[in-house]
Structure formats: structure tokens, C-alpha cells
Amino acid sequence: MNLYNKLIPAFLLILSTSITTTAQNLQADVQHYDISLTLSDSTDKISAVTGITVRFKEDARELCLDLVGRSGRDTGMAVSMVTEGKKPVAFRQQRESVRLQIRAKKGETHTYRIAYSGIPANGLIISTNMYGKRTFFTDNWPNRAHYWLPSIDHPSDKAAVDYTIIAPDHYNVVANGLKTEETNLPGRLKRTRYQEKVVLPTKVFAVGVADFAIDHPGDVKGIPVYTYVYPQNKARGFQDYAKAVEVLDFFIGKLGPYAYKKLANVQSKTMFGGMENAGAIFYEEESVGARTIEPLIAHEIAHQWFGDAVTETGWEHVWLSEGFATYMTHVYMEHKYGADTLAAGMKADRRKIIAFNKRRHTPVVDTSRQGGYMQLLNANSYEKGGWVLHMLRRQVGDSLFWKGIRSYFAAYNGRNANTDNFRQAMEQASGQELTAFFQQWLHTPGVPVLAVRKGNDPHTMVVEQLQETLFSFPLEYKADNNPEIQRILIKDRVTMLSIPGAELIHIDPRTNLLIEDRFE
């Protein structure tokens, strides 16, 4: 997702970080969700039946699913019945879960149907849009799907999903996958079905129900690209979101095959600037007409490869999603507007990282859980993660970098990956040992802070690392009397540079290094 255009409301931060879910479920692996939702204009209460097909990795007497129950504020989901086939299944509903009493053997696959209803407190946002029109939009990241959906609400559990949405017939419905049915029903209702056969984590499940104007600006290698915007934004929205055709074409060529059967770009009520739901990206309402619409679209489409098709094993590895999308956006802008645009973007990101590091001293791969998962959406996960990829690209060279990126995607497409998996893929592609590189840039807090001053000898400069933990990196510099770029390995606390006849030097002239420099 993209945070550049939208601040997350504080109350939503508090709400979403105060909950706990079943982290990874070590006993069960969901294979498929069959979600039936009935929505109404007269109430915010939803009625739902979700079928969950589970393969058991161990013998089990209980299946714990994440689901937020009823609260004193009259929100939450109340389960009325659970069945397997025609047989009722005993269950216990708790504040944030429903526990099914079952008998399952290792290797068996079972399908349970859970009937429930209630007003979602989060996750499925029932509201009005900027024009006062009623809308329904899922907004699940990081673990908010279980406010409306019984699930294993963790990125490590990926499953296929079918949707059946019954809603008033004036609405259009968009969701993951391909539309397989749209049927008018009695009572001015309409049933819409979508089917997504590619496995997804719940964080990128998507359902959008609103009065939309719909466009089809083109196909990319057989993939239809659609636009869904509010009718009031039709002219500008169709023009802005059509940029997705060019962006999708670029990333397919750069990264590998697109994993899904369609790409819908949807104006929505997401709390983020954009939310990378698989094949159905939700953008904030104000995105239409925004100056940043092109990089925003590039960011969210890049996520279709990184975050959606290849999903991090846990939230601490979210840089594999956000850092990748951040850097791939810069790569797209470099492709379209030139190397100076890339350099300007990296410099802006470097300033954000340095400012963040002064407020919070944590590594990119952050297992501390301080403040919950939402706090991981910060300059470490986005900008510093992107900078790590930029420095890795410069270290191994363009050809081997892109070979490694494509190999990593091919190996983990449809699966989960962690930071070590990515490192190993890049080592295999480049033939370089990258453990030290990954350790200092991803697992070590902070960035190198360099003090640069004249040495005692008039033909020298002194470079001193001021931060507590020493880093090792190649430093490029250019003296004012020599057009050639010089390169030296910095690994000690103090390093002397020889600059015969020069008065000034320019550190990192090609914007290839994540440092804070302080000239004296």
C-alpha cells in the first residue's frame, strides 16, 4: 500500500493495533474460501456464510479461526451455525476467534460452513463516499479481514477465494478474480459472483460495492485492465487510471508474468493512499486528479508481484512488499523520465530515512512488535527497503540484479518468502556472498553518519563514521579538480582520502549510497 497521499487516522491505528490474532496456524492450511455476503441499504448489518476448506498438517481436535465477536458497541460478528456437510459442528466463539470442535487427521481436507451476521467494526468499511453516496469496501491490511471474515488472518496462509455478493441492484461489484455471474433477483437485488483461483493472503482480499462508472482502457498481453470510479469523477478518473495499462506492460517485461486474470483500478474508501488488493487495487478517493497519480499507480501495480504473488512470511518482512514496491516505482519513473528522476527520488527517500532514524532506531526487519503491525508502515519498510535494493543493484550490476529479481519472483510466485529467501536468490544469481550486506543494511539499525573534514595534510580529507556500529561500504567521491569518480572502501572508524591539489570533494556524486554526511 501507499501512505504518501494519506495519513492513517489515529483512531484506526489504535483499533487495529490493539487486537491480537492467531499468528501462523501450525496445524491447518486454508485451501479455499467461499464467501457469501448479503448487503443492504437499510442497515449496516451484514449476513454471511463462509465455507472454509482446510488441509490439516497435524491431527487436530480444534480449529481456531480469527473472527472478531460481538462487542458492547453493537459491532462484531455473531456466529449462528457451523456445519460440515449436513452435520452440525460444535463451536465456541470468543472475543477475537471462533473455535470449532472437530476430529481431523493429518493430511485430511475438510470443509466447514460458518453462518454469521453483524456490523463490522473494521475491515469491511460501510460508509458514504466523498459525494455522500453509500459504499462498501474491504480494507484488510494488516490483519483486519477477521473483523468480517472467519479466517486465518496471517500473510503466511494463502488460499483461493470465491465471492457471492447479494446487494441492491443499483450497485456495481468488483472483487478479486473474474466475474462469473451477474443476475437480477426479486426485491430489486442483484447477485454477483467472482472467482479467484490464484491463492492469496487475506490482507489482499477485495470486495468493492458502489455506484461506479466503469471503463476498459485496454488489454496488456491478454490481461484486461479496468477502471472503476465514482460517476462524478468519470472523465478525469478514466484518464488518470488509464495510466495503469502502460505501467502493467512495463512490469510484465521487467519482472515476469502477471499472476492474475485481470487488473481493476478502483476509486475507494481505503484508509491508505492505495491498497494493493490482488487484481483489484483500491485507491483513495482523492487520487483522481492527484499530482502523484502515476507513481501511486506504479507502486500498487508493483505490489501485484511483491506482496501479492510473492507474500512475506510474516509482517516483520514487510519490506519485501513495501520496499520492493517503493523501488520498483522509482525504476518505472527512471524508465519513463530518465536517470535524473531516479536520483531525485532516491535523494528524497534518503532524507526521509535519515529523519526517521533520528526518531526511531530500529532495523528494517523489525521483530520488536512495538506498537503493533501498523507502525511497520514507516520509512524503514518503504524508503530504506527501497534503498537496500538500489545499493544491491549497484553492487552486483544491472544484469545480475534483474536476473536475481526475476529468479526470486519465479521461485516464490504463489508462495511466501522471507528476507533470507531473497538473499539466497540474489546470491545464486550474482555469485556473490551477501550475508554481510544484508546484515548491516536490513538487520542493523541506522545508517552510516559520515563527518568529512580537511586532514592535517592539505592534500587529504578525513572521513569518520560517527554512528556507534561501524558499517562497511564502497564510497564514491569526486574532487573538484578531477572529473573522474574515485572509489574507496570505508570500513574503519577513520579513513584518509588522498586528493592532491583539490579543495573540495563531492561525496556519492551518483546517488548510490545511503549515508548521512556532515561536512566540516
Which pLDDT tens digits describe the chain residue by residue (520 residues)? 886 445 444 333 333 333 344 456 789 999 999 999 999 999 999 999 999 999 999 999 999 999 999 987 789 999 999 999 999 999 999 999 999 999 999 999 999 999 999 999 999 999 999 999 999 999 999 999 999 999 999 999 999 999 999 999 999 999 999 999 999 999 999 999 999 999 999 999 999 999 999 999 999 999 999 999 999 999 999 999 999 999 999 999 999 999 999 999 999 999 999 999 999 999 999 999 999 999 999 999 999 999 999 999 999 999 999 999 999 999 999 999 999 999 999 999 999 999 999 999 999 999 887 778 899 999 999 999 999 999 999 999 999 999 999 999 999 999 999 999 999 999 999 999 999 999 999 999 999 999 999 988 888 999 999 999 999 999 999 998 888 999 999 999 999 998 888 878 899 999 999 999 987 6
Judge contact between 339 and 422, C-beta under 8 A. Answer: no
- Cα–Cα distance measured from residue 15 to residue 32, given in angstroms and rounded to the nearest whole number: 28
In-domain check, residue 300: no
Task: Note whether 155 and 113 are same-domain residues.
Answer: yes
Identify which of 50, 40, 65 has the alpha carbon closest to the alpha carbon of residue 154: 65
DSSP 232-266: GGHHHHHHHHTHHHHHHHHHHHHH----SS-EEEE
In-domain check, residue 15: no
For residue 2, the model assigns a pLDDT of 87
One-letter amino acid at 331 equals V
Answer with the one of 386, 413, 442 that is the final residue of a domain: 442
Rg (CA), the chain: 25
Task: Note whether 37 and 153 are same-domain residues.
Answer: yes
The pTM for the full model equals 0.95
Task: Note whether 32 and 155 are same-domain residues.
Answer: yes
Find where cell 466523498 sits.
130
In-domain check, residue 5: no
In-domain check, residue 303: no
Task: Note whether 197 and 235 are same-domain residues.
Answer: no
Identify which of 479, 441, 440, 435 has the alpha carbon closest to the alpha carbon of residue 460: 479
In-domain check, residue 133: yes
Task: Note whether 221 and 182 are same-domain residues.
Answer: no
Task: Note whether 250 and 378 are same-domain residues.
Answer: no
For residue 11, the model assigns a pLDDT of 33
For residue 15, the model assigns a pLDDT of 37
- Cα–Cα distance measured from residue 143 to residue 66, given in angstroms and rounded to the nearest whole number: 9
In-domain check, residue 55: yes
In-domain check, residue 207: no
In-domain check, residue 293: no
Task: Note whether 197 and 48 are same-domain residues.
Answer: yes
Find where cell 433477483 sits.
185
For residue 26, the model assigns a pLDDT of 80
* Residues sharing a CB contact under 8 Å with residue 475, sequence separation 6 or more, in sequence order: 450, 463, 487, 488, 489, 490, 495, 507, 508, 513, 515
- Cα–Cα distance measured from residue 392 to residue 398, given in angstroms and rounded to the nearest whole number: 9
The CATH code of the domain that includes 217 is 3.30.2010.30
The CATH code of the domain that includes 476 is 2.60.40.1910
Task: Note whether 253 and 171 are same-domain residues.
Answer: no
Task: Note whether 393 and 470 are same-domain residues.
Answer: no
Answer with the one of 202, 222, 252 that is the final residue of a domain: 202
The CATH code of the domain that includes 423 is 1.10.390.10
Q: Quote the number of domains for the chain.
A: 4
Cell numbers for 429, please give them. Answer: 544469481
Task: Note whether 188 and 62 are same-domain residues.
Answer: yes
Cell numbers for 263, please give them. Answer: 487488473
For residue 385, the model assigns a pLDDT of 98
The three-class DSSP label of residue 146 is: helix
Identify which of 261, 226, 231 has the alpha carbon closest to the alpha carbon of residue 245: 226
Task: Note whether 434 and 467 are same-domain residues.
Answer: no
The CATH code of the domain that includes 151 is 2.60.40.1730
User: How many Cβ atoms are within 10 Å of 65's Cβ, its own excluded?
Assistant: 27
Answer with the one of 424, 442, 460 that is the final residue of a domain: 442
Range of the domain at 240: 212-288
Task: Note whether 258 and 218 are same-domain residues.
Answer: yes
For residue 304, the model assigns a pLDDT of 98
For residue 24, the model assigns a pLDDT of 63
Identify which of 218, 231, 116, 111 has the alpha carbon closest to the alpha carbon of residue 171: 231
Q: Which phi and psi (to 5°) does residue 214 adopt?
A: -120, 135
Cell numbers for 167, please give them. Answer: 446487494
